Amino acid sequence: MMHLTRRAALGAALALPAIGTARAQSAPSAWAPQRPIRIVVPFGPGGVADLTARAVAQRMAERLGQPVVIDNRPGAGGIVAGQQLMAAPADGHTLLVASNGTAISKALFRQLPFDPLTDFAPVVTMGAFPIAIVVAPNSPDRDIAGLLARLRANPGRLNIGSITAGSTQNLSAELFKIRSGTQFETIAFPATPALTTAVIRGDVDAAFEISGPIMGQIRAGALRVLAVTSATRAENLPDVPTLTEAGVPDYDVASWNALVARTGTPPEAITALNAAVNEALGSTELRVALTQVGVEPRGGTAAAMGELLRADTARWTEVIEKAGIPRQ
C-alpha cells in the first residue's frame, strides 16, 4: 500500500474533479450508454492504476453523457474484480481495469473463475508503466555491463529483488535471467518500501521496480537507475538506456493497464467506449499529468489491446514454467 504522502502527490498531480459530474451531448455513435458506467478496479484507491482510471473516467463521462463510476475491488490477485465483471450484463455498462497481472494470472493460478482470453472483450489500452533496474548509489555496478560482468563472475551468488512472487517486476527479473544467460537468486518483497530499503542497505544487489513509485528516491539520488525494460526509453527517464541498448537482446517489458468488457458486449458499444478513451488520452493536460506520475499514455484499437493480452499471456506462461514458479 502506498504511503499517504505518495497518494496525495498523485492526486495533486492529476487534479481530478468528481467523477461523472460533467455532462456533454451523447457521442456520435450507434451506441450510447443508457445509465452510469461502472469501472471495476482490482486495486485500492490511491494507486497509479486507480488514479489513471479516474482521470480517464472523468473525460469518458464528458463524451458519453453519463456518469462513469469507479468501483475499487482489490483482492485475490484480481479475481474479486474479475468476478464483478462476470456477474454484470454484457452490455457495455460495466468495465474492468485489466493489467499485465491479468495476463500473468492465467499461468499463475490453477483455477480461475474466468478465462481472461475468452471471457473478456478488449476495449483499449490506457497506459504503460516502465520498469527500472536500480542499484544503491554506492553499488560497484555503474551500468548493465558492469552488473552482467559481476553476475557472470559470481553465478548464483548475487541476488536481485522485486515485489511479490509472480508480479510483473518479479517475472521481469526472471526473464532477465533467461535472456542474459546469468544465474542469480530472485528475492520477492511484500511491497515497494521494503524493496527499496533492501536495495539502499545493500541486502540485494539490484532490483526491478516500476519507475513511478520510486521516482522520488531516484531524483534524490537514493537509487541509481541502470536501465529500463521497455523497448524504447521511458518518458520520465529519457537519459537511461533500455536493456536492449545495454546489450540484453530480445527484451521488451512494460507493465500496463487497459479496459475490458465481458465477451458478448455489442461491437458498437466496444467501438464507442474505445473512442471515448482515445479521446480522453488525447488531452494534453491528461497526458502531462499521467506522465508526471510515471504513466505513459497509450490508447489504440481494441484489437491491439487483445493482441497485447494474448502475447503477454504466452510470454509469462513460458517464463513461469522456466523459472519453476509454483502455481497458486
Q: Per-residue pLDDT tens for 86-127?
A: 999 999 999 999 999 999 998 888 889 999 999 999 999 999
pLDDT in the model for residue 24: 38
Residue 259 has pLDDT above 80, yes or no: yes
User: Average pLDDT of 212-217?
Assistant: 92
Give the pLDDT of residue 260: 98
**Greatest mean pLDDT among 14-18, 28-32, 184-188:** 184-188
Under the banding of pLDDT at 50, 70 and 90, the label for residue 29 is low
Which of the listed ranges 104-108, 134-138, 166-170 does the model predict with the highest average pLDDT?
A: 134-138
pLDDT of residue 10: 45
Q: Tens digits of per-residue pLDDT, 35-82? A: 999 999 999 998 888 989 999 999 999 999 999 999 999 988 899 999
When computed from its CA atoms, the radius of gyration of the chain, rounded to whole angstroms, is 20
Alpha-carbon gap, residue 184 to 63, rounded angstroms: 50
CA 55 to the chain's CA centroid:
16
Angle between the 284-292 and 4-14 helix axes, to the nearest 10 degrees?
160
Cell of 231: 523497448
What average pLDDT does this structure show over 265-272? 97
- Whether residue 5 is predicted with pLDDT greater than 90 in this model: the reply is no
Position 265 pLDDT exceeds 80:
yes
Inform me whether the pLDDT recorded for 8 exceeds 70. Answer: no
| Half-sphere CA count of 197, side-chain side, radius 13 A | 6
**Is pLDDT at 142 greater than 60 in this prediction?**
yes
Distance CA 313, CA 328 (A): 16
Q: Write down the pTM of the prediction.
A: 0.87
CB atoms within 10 A of CB 252: 13
Confidence (pLDDT) at 22: 37
Q: What is the mean pLDDT of residues 224-231?
A: 96
Give me the percent of the chain exceeding a pLDDT of 70.
Answer: 91
How does residue 327 score in pLDDT terms, banded at 50, 70 and 90? confident
**Residue 122 phi, psi dihedral angles, 5° rounding:** -60, 140
Question: Average pLDDT for residues 230-258, to the nearest whole number?
Answer: 94
Lowest mean per-residue pLDDT among 4-13, 52-61, 145-154, 199-208? 4-13
Amino acid residing at 132: A
What's the rounded mean pLDDT across residues 310-320? 95
Is 9 a residue whose pLDDT tops 50? Answer: no
Give the residue-averaged pLDDT of 182-201: 96
Task: Report pLDDT for 30.
Answer: 81
